[in-house]
Structure formats: C-alpha cells, structure tokens
C-alpha cells in the first residue's frame, strides 16, 4: 500500500512564517491540516497577514516584515512551536502583542525563549512561573551569541527569526544538533546565514526574502505511527511517498533499523533545501536497543510510539537523556509508563526516560491521553495490537497534528 501523508508540521509552521516575512505572494501546498498549524495561521492573520486558500493551495500575502498590532490575544492553543517561534518573529517588529495558550501549553517553559530574546534587547514579560501569557512590547534588537542550554529547535528558530528583524549578527551554538528546517529554508531563500559545525550565524548582509512556492513533504513524525503498525502486524508492506527524509528527523527510522526493522529509503530529491523521497517498511521481528545522548532530538516526538515497538521487541530497550519529554504536551514519560503498564507492559519509569522489556502480549485498557496527540496515537496503535478493547479518553486530540489519523489507520489494518 502507498500513502501520501499531509505536510510536515514543523515545516508548515515555518513556511507560513517565512511566507509572511517575504516580499510578495507565496503559494504553499500540502500544508499540515492540524490544529497547531492553524494556530500559527490565525495568529499571523491577526497581525495583518492575508492568508487565503484556492483548492489545495494556501496563498500568503507577505508584507516584508511589516506587521500590525493585533486587537486581541494571539492564541497559540496547544502549539509550543507557534508560541515560541512567534515570540521570536514578532520581538523586533515594533508591535505590542500578548500570546496565550491552552492549559497544557500554559504549563510549558517559556523562559528558555524569553531570556535569550531579552539578551537581544526584546521587551518580554512572562507569568511569575516563566510560562504564558507572554507580553511583548516594541523594542529594537541587536546582536546575540548564545549557546543553547537545552537542545531545542524551537528556541534556535525563535532566535534566528528575531535576528531577521535585528541590526546585528546572531550566532546560535547548539551543542546537540536539532531539526534544521529554519536554517535550510532561510538558506534556500538567499538569506545571509552560515552553518559551520555547531554554530549558526545569521549575518547582517541580507534580510529580505523573496516570495516562494513550496510543496510541503509528508510528515515523518506522522508516518512513524502507521509504520509501527506495518512493522508489527504480519505480512505488511507500506510505502510513504513524498516523505520528508531530513536526517535531523530520521532518528526514529534509524532506531527502528537498529532494532531489526526492514526499511528501504529511495528516490531522494530536494525541495527548499530539504531531502524528500519514499520510505517503505515491512513486517519485521525486533530486538531491544539503547537510545541516548545526541540521538534523542532526532526522535524526541517519536518516543511514545517507540515505546510501543519496544514492548514487542525481544529483550530490553532503554531510553535515556530524554528529560525534555516531561515538558512536552504532557509529561510523556509518565503518560507512556502509566498507560503501557496498564496494558500489561513491563516498563520502568526513569527520571529521563524509560526501560521496557519485551515481547509481551498487550491487553486492552482504558488510556489516559492527557489531551496529548502523540500519546493518543501511540496507544491507539497499541490498541490494534492488543487483546480486548482499548478506549482512549480523548481520541479526537489527534487533530492537533494529524486529523486523518484514525481513518488512515483503518485503511492500513483493513
Ligand atoms: C519542534 C521542535 C521540537 C519538537 C516539536 C516541534 C519544531 O520541540 O518536539 O514537536 O518544530 O521546532 P523543542 O524545540 O521544544 O525540542
């Protein structure tokens, strides 16, 4: 079976933001249809950017970095990427804005982005807990050299987007590589940005960007859920066409290969600096592995579904150095361990990860999703592998990143 998945969520946010900053009209196809990307779109519209749709094509009328002060709060919903990237993008644009989020996003750390933006000169205030709401007032931004204390593509991207509005040079040093879509897209659009080892330098030479047309490749983080079903069910073969194959996002598929998963990657080509192509997975027997250190950022969003794979692999799988999972849409370490435990999994919670022994026969259970789309999708997949009934308390929260998830799972299993 061949599938063509909706556009990558990380690239979709960035495509909307860069199209808003560009001079002229951009055309985006296969934009992620999830609520998170909708939040970015609405916030940009509130800041005076006209965005319309003609069939499958989303048309963004870029204003070269000119934004209006929004009349109301900018609501980021559940989306950390919206909140953090927009904080950076708007910090030096001469407007006043207040960013808010839902209950989950309002618990997540924002000081990690506010603090370096203040070092650039931004006027930003957070709640006393360092969370949303984030109040932004007009300010002039200067230079920055900043080493990321936590591996975060959102913080890196926020600083580079802020840098586009500053007079100075911005250096971001990332000791552990994270997804590099912002750098690749800026480079492809001709912005003065250099990557050398662990240092990204946004020079002061060229900040204006031309409008662009982009077909967004399929989301490998969405593919991971369906690929898991194909790997674990008998006699399956599933191919994802036009999938994003950026190495900073392929950690899950690399880990799956190490576990013994049969994977073929073919037909690589480039779109706005990004590798895309086809990826085929086939039913496989798996063994446990250890995952830690610099491998983690390239599969951080896939760890909930990797835990399900681990429960079906021979031996022990250990994940370490993934403490960031505790500050995602939910405390994902807790949510994975609790839910897998209630399905009969042999799982031990670690401060920065988990240890899972397999293979075990999963049994159906009541799943608490915490409104977290990736917990919902991981345990929905687990439900298809389990004996007895599995019921999610909030199956609809998959719409945050992958509204068509339940339909596509049905197609794959039937
Ligand atoms: C994202 C970066 C990651 C990831 C999130 C999307 C991005 O978050 O977990 O789903 O698009 O930049 P962090 O930057 O917090 O690691």
Query: CATH number for the domain including 162?
Result: 3.65.10.10
Measured CA to CA, the distance from residue 140 to residue 105 in angstroms comes to: 28
Give the residue, out of 300, 328, 374, 400, with the most ligand 1 atoms within 8 A of its beta carbon, to mutate for a pocket test.
300
Q: Judge if 239 and 193 occupy the same domain.
A: no
Nearest CA to ligand 1 atom 13: 152
Residues 180 and 242 in one domain: no
Q: With bands split at pLDDT 50, 70 and 90, how would you rate the model's confidence at 188?
A: very high
Angle between helix 153-163 and 181-188 (nearest 10): 30
Tens digit of pLDDT for each residue in 209-241?
999 999 999 999 999 999 999 999 999 999 999
Residue 195 reports pLDDT greater than 90: yes
Last-in-domain residue among 154, 178, 203:
203
275 in Cβ contact with 245 (< 8 Å): yes
Distance of CA 5 to the CA centre of its chain: 15
Partners of 173 in the beta sheet? 147, 199
Q: Are residues 271 and 377 in the same domain?
A: yes
- Asked whether residue 214 is assigned to any structural domain, the reply reads no
Rounded to whole angstroms, the maximal C-alpha distance in the chain is 62
In a domain, 215, yes or no: no
Q: Is there an atom of ligand 1 within 6 Å of 222 CB? A: no
Residues whose CB is less than 8 angstroms from the CB of residue 128 and which lie 6 or more positions away in sequence, other chains included: none
pLDDT at residue 273, rounded to an integer: 83
- Supply the range of the domain harboring residue 185: 7-203
Low-confidence winner among 20-24, 201-205, 321-325 (lowest mean pLDDT): 201-205
How far apart, in whole angstroms, are the C-alpha atoms of residue 14 and residue 29? 13
pLDDT at 316 over 90: yes
Question: Is residue 385 helix, strand or coil?
Answer: helix
Rg (CA), the chain: 21
How confident is the model over 282-293, as pLDDT tens digits?
A: 999 999 999 999
Is 153's C-beta closer than 6 angstroms to any atom of ligand 1? yes
| Cis before 21 (ω within 30) | no
What is the pLDDT, as a whole number, of residue 206? 64
Do 196 and 224 lie in a common domain?
A: no
Q: What is the pLDDT of residues 13-55, one digit of tens each?
A: 999 999 999 999 999 999 999 999 999 999 999 999 999 999 9
**Is the same domain home to 163 and 236?**
no
E strand or H helix that includes residue 186: helix 181-188
End-to-end CA distance of the chain: 11
Q: Say if strands 193-196 and 213-215 run parallel, antiparallel, or are unpaired.
A: unpaired
What is the distance between the alpha carbons of residues 305 and 392, in angstroms, rounded to a whole number?
15
Question: Is 171 in the same domain as 234?
Answer: no
Residue 212 lies in a domain: no
Query: Is residue 169 one of the residues assigned to a domain?
Result: yes
Ligand 1 center–CA 303 separation, angstroms: 13
Q: Is the pLDDT of residue 268 over 80?
A: no
Last residue of a domain, one of 203, 237, 259: 203
State yes or no: pLDDT of 181 exceeds 70. yes
Look up residue 193 and give its DSSP letter: E
Nearest to 309 by CA among 241, 393, 230: 230
Whether 320 and 393 share a structural domain = yes
Residue 157 near ligand 1, beta carbon < 6 Å: yes
SS3 state at 258: helix
**Which pLDDT band, with edges at 50, 70 and 90, does 300 fall under?**
very high
Query: d(Cα 102, Cα 75) in Å, to the nearest integer?
Result: 8
Does 270 score more than 80 pLDDT?
no
């Amino acid at each position: 079976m061949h599938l063509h998945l909706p556009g990558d969520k990380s690239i979709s946010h960035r495509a909307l933001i860069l199209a808003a900053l560009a001079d002229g009209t951009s055309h985006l196809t296969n934009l992620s249809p999830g609520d998170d990307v909708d939040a970015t779109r609405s916030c940009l519209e509130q800041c005076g950017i006209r965005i319309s749709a003609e069939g499958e094509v989303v048309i963004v009328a870029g204003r070269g970095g000119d934004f209006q002060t929004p009349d109301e709060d900018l609501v980021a919903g559940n989306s950390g990427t919206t909140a953090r990237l927009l904080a950076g993008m708007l910090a030096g644009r001469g407007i006043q804005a207040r960013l808010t989020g839902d209950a989950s996003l309002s618990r997540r750390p924002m000081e990690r982005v506010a603090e370096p933006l203040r070092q650039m000169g931004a006027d930003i205030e957070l709640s006393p807990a360092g969370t949303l709401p984030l109040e932004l007032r007009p300010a002039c931004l200067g230079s920055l050299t900043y080493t990321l204390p936590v591996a975060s593509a959102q913080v890196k991207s926020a600083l580079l987007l802020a840098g586009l509005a500053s007079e100075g040079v911005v250096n971001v040093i990332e000791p552990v590589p994270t997804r590099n879509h912002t750098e690749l897209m800026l480079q492809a659009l001709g912005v003065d940005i250099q990557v050398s080892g662990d240092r990204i330098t946004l020079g002061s030479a060229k900040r204006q960007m031309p409008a662009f047309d982009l077909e967004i490749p399929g989301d490998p983080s969405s593919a991971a859920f369906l690929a898991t079903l194909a790997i674990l069910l008998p006699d399956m073969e599933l191919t994802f066409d036009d999938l994003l194959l950026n190495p900073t996002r392929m950690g899950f598929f690399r880990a799956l290969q190490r576990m013994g998963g049969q994977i073929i990657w073919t037909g690589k080509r480039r779109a706005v600096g990004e590798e895309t192509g086809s990826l085929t997975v086939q039913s496989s027997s798996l063994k446990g592995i250890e995952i830690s250190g610099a491998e983690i950022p390239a599969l951080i969003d896939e760890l909930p579904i990797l835990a399900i794979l681990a429960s079906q692999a021979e031996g022990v799988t250990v994940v370490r150095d993934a403490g960031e999972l505790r500050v995602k849409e939910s405390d994902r370490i807790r949510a994975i361990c609790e839910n897998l435990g209630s399905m009969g999994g042999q799982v031990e919670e670690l401060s920065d990860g988990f240890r899972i022994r397999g293979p075990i026969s999963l049994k159906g259970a009541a799943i608490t999703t915490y409104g977290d789309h990736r917990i919902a999708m991981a345990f929905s997949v687990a439900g298809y592998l389990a004996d007895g009934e599995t019921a999610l308390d909030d199956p609809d929260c998959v719409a945050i990143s992958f509204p068509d998830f339940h339909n596509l799972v049905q197609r794959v299993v039937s």
